[in-house]
Structure 1
Amino acid sequence: MNDLDCKTCDELIHGYLDHELDAATRARVAGHLAGCAECARRYEQARQLIDDVKNRAPYYRAPEALNLSLLGAAPERSSAMAGFMQGLRALSGRWWAPAFSTLALSLAVMLYVVTPSAEQPWLDEAVSSHVRSLMAEHLNDVVSSDRHTVKPWFTGKLDFAPPVFDYAAQGYPLLGGRLDYLQHQTAAALAYRHAKHTINLFILPTAEADRARESLSLRGYNVVSWRRDHLRFILVSDLEKGELEGFGQLIEKGG
């Protein structure tokens, strides 16, 4: 029986088109598409759009100098922006500076938008892991609302000790925990419930500096992330954004 729902299928359609799903998930999506006319229609629309872009969109080859310039600049936004600004200052006294400034500013904005932040891969994988945990009914390896049961379970399975708290009194009961894997790194995943919403909290060590909480919406889910005390925290849920941010604040306080 294929119990994949339409919302989850819609989230996975682009991964299905791009051959990014594992074999089991791909088979479940294919099975759902075979039996759901509406999802099959959306899949066909997405496939047709990709074909149209490939076959009909005009293609203009960029000058080699521009290619080399952008490729060299892409890894670091700050250096790219600094380079553009330095060029603008050098050209500011010339009569054609306004036109060049407009072009340079457009390229700078484009570079800033299309260059993903260093945090993005973590968030993408966290959302994918959240979806998989709901699809495969593998939300927890240890099922317990007692943090004194869940926390020791991770001992010997991780090279760090994830903080585990139960927030049942605040309306966020602990459901359990499991091992997960983000960006080639083993992570602790804690599951919580709020009303009818499942929340995944991913915790893993990091050498990066602390970073304040940030929120965004990604593939239909709300995500709250931060770094603190050499740990990376990522919350993922379909819970309303403000409530998820409030839960993140609660976790930061440690109860």
Structure 2
Amino acid sequence: MTCDEADILLHALIDGELDAGHAREVENHVAACSRCTAELKVYREMKAQMATADMRLTAPPRLRQRIEAAIPQSRGTSRRSLLAGFAMGSAVSAIAATGLVAIVLRDDDEQRIASEVVSAHLRSLQAGHLTDILSTDQHTVKPWFNGRLDVSPPVIDLTALGFTLIGGRLDYIDGRAIGAVVYKRRAHVINLFVAQTPNATHSAARTEDVQGFNIRRWRDHGLSLWAVSDLNADELAEFSDKFEKAMQTNGNG
């Protein structure tokens, strides 16, 4: 393990988010590396200070406005009375508000993960970070993931369709290890992040701009997929469309 790889995982280590194998690997590296030992000490001191600091967050007014706007206007019941009931501890209002807050939080969670996906993409562009397995052969890349993840991501050769497979690697999104399959379109790198989502229903692909990068995300075959690149939105959509069609043809890659 290199210092750059360990640096990515130090926060996850102190937060207890790594599995036993990865935690032991990071700890072994830290034990032999004075630089990472010092960084880990700084992170732990920072975490201790944050735990003792008064960091209570007051919900912004716009959160109340979003909740109020989301409450349906029913006969004989105003939005104001529902919110008043919530403030008084009414069980019915509390249940309704819980559902509405969940919608708000789910939206915020998706935005956070999208930001993490872009951060992982940027890390991969540093020298030596793009691939753990460098190969244009899907039959070499796919078996490499076996035993390293709960699910082996689909690896599909799209070279003939204009998107060159160049390899794969392990990455970390939302505190867990996931697979990244790497493609190129001319000089543009496309990172395809794949995570297992067994209970997820199929969702059509959609594109969004995050920090100047395009992200194309969709769900299929019990997987959540994010393709991120500085490639223009139309070409990234072309990539995801061809990948989806190939998945259906090949039976999940």
TM-score bucket (shorter structure): 0.5 to 0.7
The equivalences for 1:18-57 within 5 A come to none
TM-score computed with the length of structure 2 as normaliser: 0.59
Change (3 A) 1:69 1:185: same
- 1:1-255 superposed matches below 5 A: 80-83=68-71, 85-86=73-74, 90=78, 116-206=107-197, 207-254=199-246
Distance between the aligned counterparts of 1:187 and 1:91, measured in 2?
43
- 2:230 and 2:60 map into 1 onto residues whose CA distance is 42
Runs of 4+ in 1 over 4 A off after TM superposition: 67-71, 86-89, 112-115
Deviations 1:32-52 (Å, cap 9, x if unpaired)? xxxxxxxxxxxxxxxxxxxxx
Q: Distance in 2 between matches of 1:204 and 1:224?
A: 14
Cα drift, residue 209 of structure 1: 2.2
Question: Structure 2: how far apart are the matches of 1:254 and 1:233?
Answer: 14
Instruction: Give the direction of change, closer, same or farther, for the CA distance of 1:88–1:179 in structure 2 (3 Å limit).
Output: farther
Amino acid at match of 2:141: V
Q: Could you report, residue by residue, the CA deviation over 1:144-183 in whole angstroms, capped at 9, with x for unpaired residues?
A: 0000000000010011121110110011010000001100
Contact 2:130/2:169 (8 A) holds in 1: yes
Secondary structure class of the residue paired with 2:78: helix
Match of 2:10 in 1: none
CA positional deviation for 1:121: 2.0
Distance 1:139 1:122 in 2: 20
Matched AA of 2:232: E
CA drift of 1:117 comes to 4.0
1:87 CA drift (Å): 10
Instruction: Give the TM-score normalised by the residue count of structure 1.
Output: 0.58
Distance 1:192 1:131 in 2: 15
The number of residues matched between the two structures is 169
Unaligned runs of 5+ in 2: 1-34, 37-57, 81-102, 248-253
Match of 1:101 in 2: none
Q: Is the 8 A contact 2:71 2:79 kept in 1?
A: no
Q: 1:176 to 1:166 in 2, by over 3 A?
A: same
Q: What CA deviation, in whole Å up to 9, does each residue of 1:77-99 have, x standing for no partner?
A: 6x64343745996389xxxxxxx
Root mean square deviation of aligned Cα: 3.3
> What SS class does the counterpart of residue 193 from structure 2 fall into?
strand
Q: 1:212 Cα deviation (Å)?
A: 1.1
Whole-Å Cα distance in 1 between the matches of residues 200 and 156 of structure 2? Answer: 24
